[in-house]
Amino acid sequence: MDYVNLGRSGLKVSRLCLGTMNFGPVTSEEDSFTIMDRAHELGINFFDTANVYGWKQGEGITEKILGNWFAKGGGRREKTVVATKLYGSMGDWPNDNLLSALNIRRACDASLKRMRTDYIDIYQAHHVDRSTPFDEFWEAMEVLRQQGKILYVGSSNFAGWHIAKAQETAARRGTFGLVSEQSHYNLLTREVELEVLPACADYGLGVIPWSPLAGGLLGGVLRKTDKGRSATENMVKELDKHRDKIERYEKFCDELGEEPAYVALAWLLTRPAVTAPIIGPRTVEQLDGTLRTLEVTLDEQALARLDEIFPGHRTAPEDYAW
């Protein structure tokens, strides 16, 4: 396993990040434990979760699964760089969501309790809160850092100008600022290349792409359909929209002799500022297979071919101005 610094920080994380969103709703607690243990065996030390995962309001099901796993001991917590998120509703009262100082304090304490740990490595804003000033956001995060409850702060789903505003506010306050940005990024969804990636590179944020396989479209969906595996209604709709690109992509992967999922992940690892795409295996077998990603080499010719199939963006404003 390769390890890199997360953004400009001194924190070392694996080049693949284990996403835990399936833990609880899709994958049982017992199987989740097995996947996390196997991740450590493979050298993956970077786990991502969120207080809303589990999708039963206020229950924090996935964080509880992580907490039960940490409680098994054996250095599990010490070996894990755990990133969790806040923003979504955890209750029915007005301050049970978003990024007010009140919710940041309460949400952090609740996540610590569920995960049965006394600190969070990376505490991420799951979305920008346009109603809360960045001064308030940073003051609350500074208190948590001073208390030793969090080590780093990250963002998710921020626009480039949100990142700039957050970092300039942090700099004015004399604090470290954001260390990472978690963005929707894959071969099919490349809008972040316009301004988010350049902002992250300039301000020293590590990018953590979510949905790196575009909900399965880049994971060999045509092959699975040929084998009679069912697809969701939304998947069928998206496949119809992008069928020409997906057909060309899977044909190219055949020419490379690689699985589409591993090519899509390997491509992300070549992108500027990208630290680690989030993988969401439902089984140990899927997790083991994903390690092939780190062995896939894409030369300039292969990267150009992928750009031809899935046109990307140049940095703004060059993308749309002379």
> Does residue 271 form part of some domain?
yes
Looking at the chain, the whole-number percentage of residues with pLDDT higher than 70 is: 98
pTM of the predicted structure, to 2 decimals: 0.95
Q: Residue 128 maps to which CATH number?
A: 3.20.20.100
First to last CA, the chain: 42
> Does residue 248 form part of some domain?
no
> Does residue 222 form part of some domain?
no
| DSSP conformation letters of 165-183 | HHHHHHHHHT---EEEEEE
pLDDT digits (tens, 9 = 90+) for 3-44: 999 999 999 999 999 999 999 999 999 999 999 999 999 999
Kindly state the tokens that stand for 203.
């301000």
> Does residue 84 form part of some domain?
yes
**If you average pLDDT over every residue of the chain, what do you get?**
96
Residue 133: the pLDDT is 98
Q: Which domain holds residue 181?
A: 3-215+260-299
Backbone angles phi and psi of 254, in degrees to 5: -60, -40
Kindly state the tokens that stand for 201.
């590179």
Query: Would the pLDDT of 226 be above 70?
Result: no
> Does residue 246 form part of some domain?
no
> Does residue 103 form part of some domain?
yes
Give catalytic status of residue 53 as yes or no: yes
Contact 103, 64 (CB under 8 A): no
> Does residue 235 form part of some domain?
no
Sign, CA dihedral 286-289-211-11, equals: positive
Burial class (CB in 10 A: 0-12, 13-18, 19+), 96: middle
> Does residue 319 form part of some domain?
no
Count of domains in the chain?
1
The active-site residue out of 3, 53, 203, 249 is 53
Contact 181, 156 (CB under 8 A): yes
